[in-house]
Each structure stands twice: as structure tokens, then as C-alpha cells.
């Protein structure tokens, strides 16, 4: 018996969930979304991400499990499928004790601590010798992680879903229950998976007022400094970040960034852009030729994305709205890629519970 499933949303959360669901031939999947890979829009977080794997989940939390479960899949894709746009990249993480009390310092506390849980997950983890640390840095670590070229990886996920028979359609819904009536077979969907990210705040039937944005501004440049780099904070303000990552397959280097909570501004702030570029060069002089400042950066574009944060954490749970079975998978903040497979495994097992109950009811 076929299972009719609608996945609402085509960001990394919707596409990863659809990809896993599409591996079961009994599932007939329609992916419906306002924005699809190829679009750049302030309502669509996924294309703007770096994106890399820098775990932030606290030890013992569900978040930690999602990130732990995601690494082996990203590693396998990087190993076996170069066409997916994920490559291995050396990474340096630098911690300044003075950031410990700041809000961003707290958000990244797991990442920057000297003995993190993920040391046995990523490859080649080691501490940076103290005589190699820049002034002001208290500890540092080095490991091999991955960097994802989102402009290649999101379409690759679409391709995997299409190969497995999923159907993609553009659509905009005011109410989540309406998505159940848009399955490509014309029949009503047995379950709708809600992967609408920040829009779950305004989508009828969900209206989750715990959702809020953390604005991330970036500069994409053609310069390639080598390894990825990130610090626990900056001296330019608690809501500003410093990270550098070069995407796979000619995707350019992302210079970041910011973590501006409740800021919805879609337009890049050029003063912030100057601060981002300046501090990246300070920490990583190799970004430009010797003696150069920001004039040595070859800019592709400035960008802004909104991380879909949720008070209380990511929502992965079953729900029933207007008689329609729903599985929510949204609110992935700044970790939607690095937790993508872990979160989607959880969402898929909830979908399977709903489908099993449906089969039992029909017996
Ligand atoms: P989105 O990508 O926002 O997708 C939502 C989808 O739902 C879209 O297709 C949209 O059109 C659709 N939709 C919404 N409402 C409706 C509606 N009513 N009707 C129809 N369709 C609808 N994460 C990492 O893991 N590593 C990183 O290095 C990283 N860096 C980041 C850097 C920046 C600057 C930013 C902004 C984010 C970063 N993230 C990173 C976080 C990551 O990008 C997000 O967590 C992730 O993209 C969220 O994906 P999503 O699929 O849940 O939401």
C-alpha cells in the first residue's frame, strides 16, 4: 500500500527528510515549497549558510545526538560523492576566555572548549600548541571537518529525491493543513512534514511564537586562505562573529559574520561588512597578499540570512491539525546542516509511527 507524504519546505531540513523518506519505494513524496534551490531570499536560510560542521550541542542533549548522527553521513558523502559539493577541510577553533560570559560565547561554549565530546567524532583532533596561539587566544584546537557548497549540495539532494521518484512543486500555503490536499496523486496526504523553518512563526495551524531570527551577515570572496577558522567572539560586539570557510568546488570563501537576535533586516550593513573583512584578515593574514588590507579581498557578493532559532530548541514532534497528521522538523538555528541527518532520522521515525498506525487502522 502506498504512503502519500507531503514535505513542506525545500531547505536543507525538508530536502534531507524527503531524501531519507524517498529511499522507501512505498512512500510517494511531494515536496512543496515557496523557495527552491537556486533561489536567494531572506525567507530561505539554507543557501546562505557557510556551511560547515562545527558542533555546538551540549553533551547529553538531543542536539548532541543529532550532530553526532549527522557526521558519518556527511563524511560518507564527502568521501564517495564529489558531485555533492562537500569537501574535507582543516579547521582551527580559537577560544578567548573573555568571551565566556557573552551570549555568543555561551552559544559556542561546547565548540571552543579544550576537551569537547566531538573530538572522537571529527578527524585528526588535536590541541594547538600554546606557543602557536595569537595574543589574546587562551586555547585552540585543530581538526578535519567538512565544508559544504550549498549551491551544489541542495540541488544534489533534489537530484537524489527525483531519482527516487519524489515530485517537486512550487506552492505557498497560509495554513499547514492545506498542504495535505496538494499531493501530486490528487489524493489526500497521510502525513505532512513541516520543514518551513522561520516561517513556522506565521504559518497558520503552527503559529509558533517561540521562533525568532538570528541574523547572519556574510561576505563571499574569491580569496582562498586554506583551512577554516573560527573564534569564540570578537571585540566588535557580542552579536558579531568571526569565521572563515572555503566551500568545495569553486564556491568561494565565506567570511562571517554576525548573530543578531530578533534582527530581520535583509539588507547587508556595509559598516558591519567592513568590520567582518578587517577582523578576518587580522586573524588570517593569508587571506590577502602580504601588506594588503581589505582592498586585497576579491568580493563575489555580500549576503544576509536569518537563522531559524527557537526558544526551547528544535521542534521534532507529531501533531494533528484540522484532522491532518503532521510531523514538525523546524527551528534548527545555526546548525541546520551539521544536524540535518540526525534531525531527519528522528522526523522519519515519527512519520513511520503515523504510517504504521494508519496500516493498523485499515486491517
Ligand atoms: P529554510 O532553509 O529557511 O527553508 C524553509 C523552506 O520552507 C523554504 O523552501 C521555504 O520556501 C519553505 N516555506 C516556508 N513557509 C512556507 C509556506 N508557507 N508555504 C510554502 N513553503 C514555505 N548551519 C550549519 O549547520 N552550518 C553552518 O555553517 C551554518 N552557517 C550558517 C550561516 C548563516 C549566515 C546562516 C543564515 C545560517 C547558517 N546555518 C548553518 C544554519 C542553517 O542555514 C539553517 O539552520 C538551515 O538552513 C535551516 O534550514 P530549513 O530547511 O529548516 O529552513
Q: How far apart are CA 289 and CA 249, in angstroms?
A: 22
Give the residue whose CA is nearest to atom 6 of ligand 1: 9
Residue by residue, pLDDT tens for the chain (363 residues) are 799 999 999 999 999 999 999 999 999 999 999 999 999 999 999 999 999 999 999 999 999 999 999 999 999 999 999 999 999 999 999 999 999 888 888 888 899 988 999 999 999 999 999 999 988 999 999 999 999 999 999 999 999 999 999 999 999 999 999 999 999 999 999 999 999 999 999 999 999 999 999 999 999 999 999 999 999 999 999 999 999 999 999 999 999 999 999 999 999 999 999 999 999 999 999 999 999 999 999 999 999 999 999 999 999 999 999 999 999 999 999 999 999 999 999 999 999 999 998 877 776
Say if ligand 1 is within 6 A of residue 242 CB.
Answer: no
Q: Where are the domains of the chain?
A: 3-358
Cα-based torsion angle of the residue sequence 92, 216, 334, 255 in order, rounded to the nearest 10 degrees = -20
Q: Kindly state the DSSP code that residue 57 receives in the 8-state scheme.
A: P
The answer to whether the CB of 194 falls within 8 A of the CB of 350 is: no
Q: Are 175 and 204 in contact (CB under 8 A)?
A: yes
Nearest to 199 by CA among 357, 301, 328: 328
Query: Which helix (H) or strand (E) element contains residue 6?
Result: strand 3-8
37 lines ligand 1 (CB under 6 A): no
**Cβ of 48 below 6 Å from ligand 1:** yes
Residue 339 CA, ligand 1 centroid: distance in Å:
12
- For 3-358, give the CATH class: alpha beta
Q: What is the pLDDT of residue 168?
A: 98
Would you state the pLDDT for residue 45? 98
- From the list 75, 44, 85, the residue with the least C-alpha distance to 251 is 85
Q: How far is the CA of 4 from the centre of ligand 1 (A)?
A: 24
What pTM, to 2 d.p., does this model score? 0.98
Of residues 84, 67, 80, the one with CA closest to residue 122: 67
CA of 334 from ligand 1 middle (Å) equals 9
Closest to 218 (Cα-Cα) out of 192, 249, 190, 241: 241
What is the 8-class DSSP label of residue 267?
Answer: S
Q: Is the CB of 31 under 6 A from ligand 1?
A: no
Nearest to 46 by CA among 248, 336, 260: 336
For a ligand 1 pocket test, name from 46, 170, 260 the mutation site with the most ligand atoms within 8 angstroms of its C-beta.
46
Closest CA to 10 of 38, 46, 36: 36
- Cβ of 254 closer than 6 Å to ligand 1, yes or no, is no
CB 230 within 8 A of CB 249: no
Name the residue of 32, 196, 257, 314 to mutate for ligand 1: max ligand atoms within 8 A of Cβ: 196
* 164 burial via Cβ count (<10 Å: 0-12, 13-18, 19+): middle
Q: Which atom of ligand 1 is nearest to the CA of 214?
A: 36
Q: What is the pLDDT of residue 363?
A: 67
What pairs with residue 187 in β-bridges?
none
Cβ atoms of 183 and 317 within 8 Å: the answer is: no
CA of 77 to the centre of ligand 1 (A): 20
Q: Give the distance (Å) from ligand 1 centre to CA of residue 335.
A: 10
Mutation pick for ligand 1 pocket among 308, 309, 310, 327 (CB with most ligand atoms within 8 Å): 308
Tens-place pLDDT, residues 134-159: 889 999 999 999 999 999 999 999 99
290 CA from centroid of ligand 1 (Å): 37
52 forms beta bridges with 147
Residue 304 CA: nearest ligand 1 atom is: 34
Q: What pLDDT, on a 0 to 100 scale, did the predictor assign at position 41?
A: 98
| Protein residue whose Cα sits closest to atom 48 of ligand 1 | 336
Q: Ligand 1, residue 329: give the atom nearest the CA.
A: 52
Amino acid at each position: 500500500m502506498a504512503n502519500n507524504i507531503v514535505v513542506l519546505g525545500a531547505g536543507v531540513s525538508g530536502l534531507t527528510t524527503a531524501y531519507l523518506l524517498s529511499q522507501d519505494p512505498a512512500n510517494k513524496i511531494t515536496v512543496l515549497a515557496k523557495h527552491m534551490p537556486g533561489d536567494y531570499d531572506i525567507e530561505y536560510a539554507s543557501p546562505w549558510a557557510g556551511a560547515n560542521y562545527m558542533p555546538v550541542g551540549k553533551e547529553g542533549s538531543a542536539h548532541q545526538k543529532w550532530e553526532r548522527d549527522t557526521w558519518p553521513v556527511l563524511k560518507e558523502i564527502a568521501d564517495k560523492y564529489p558531485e555533492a559539493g562537500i569537501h574535507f577541510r582543516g579547521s582551527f577553533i580559537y577560544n578567548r576566555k573573555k568571551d565566556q560570559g557573552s551570549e555568543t560565547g555561551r552559544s559556542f561554549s561546547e565548540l571552543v572548549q579544550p576537551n569537547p565530546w566531538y573530538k572522537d567524532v571529527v578527524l585528526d583532533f588535536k590541541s594547538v600548541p600554546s606557543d602557536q596561539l595569537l595574543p589574546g587566544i587562551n586555547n585552540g584546537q585543530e581538526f578535519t571537518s567538512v565544508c559544504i557548497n550549498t549551491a551544489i549540495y541542495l540541488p544534489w539532494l533534489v537530484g537524489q529525491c527525483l531519482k527516487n521518484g519524489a515530485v517537486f512543486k512550487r506552492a505557498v500555503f497560509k495554513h499547514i493543513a492545506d498542504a495535505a490536499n496538494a499531493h501530486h496523486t490528487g489524493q489526500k496526504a497521510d502525513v505532512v512534514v513541516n520543514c518551513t523553518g522561520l516561517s513556522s512563526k506565521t504559518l497558520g495551524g503552527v503559529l509558533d511564537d517561540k521562533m525568532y531570527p538570528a541574523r547572519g551577515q556574510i561576505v563571499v570572496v574569491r580569496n582562498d586562505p586554506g583551512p577554516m577558522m573560527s573564534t569564540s567572539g570578537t571585540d566588535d560586539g557580542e552579536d558579531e562573529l568571526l569565521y572563515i570557510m572555503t566551500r568545495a568546488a569553486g564556491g568561494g570563501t565565506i567570511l562571517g559574520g554576525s548573530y543578531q537576535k530578533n534582527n530581520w533586516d535583509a539588507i547587508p550593513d556595509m559598516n558591519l561588512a567592513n568590520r567582518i573583512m578587517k577582523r578576518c584578515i587580522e586573524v588570517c593574514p593569508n587571506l590577502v597578499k602580504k601588506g594588503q588590507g581589505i582592498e586585497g579581498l576579491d568580493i563575489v557578493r555580500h549576503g544576509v540570512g536569518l537563522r531559524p532559532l527557537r526558544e526551547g530548541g528544535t521542534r521534532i514532534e507529531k501533531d494533528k491539525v484540522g484532522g491532518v497528521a503532521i510531523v514538525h522538523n523546524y527551528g534548527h538555528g545555526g546548525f541546520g546542516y551539521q544536524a540535518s541527518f540526525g534531525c531527519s532520522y528522528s522526523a522519519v521515525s515519527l512519520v513511520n509511527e503515523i504510517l504504521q498506525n494508519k496500516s493498523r487502522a485499515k486491517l
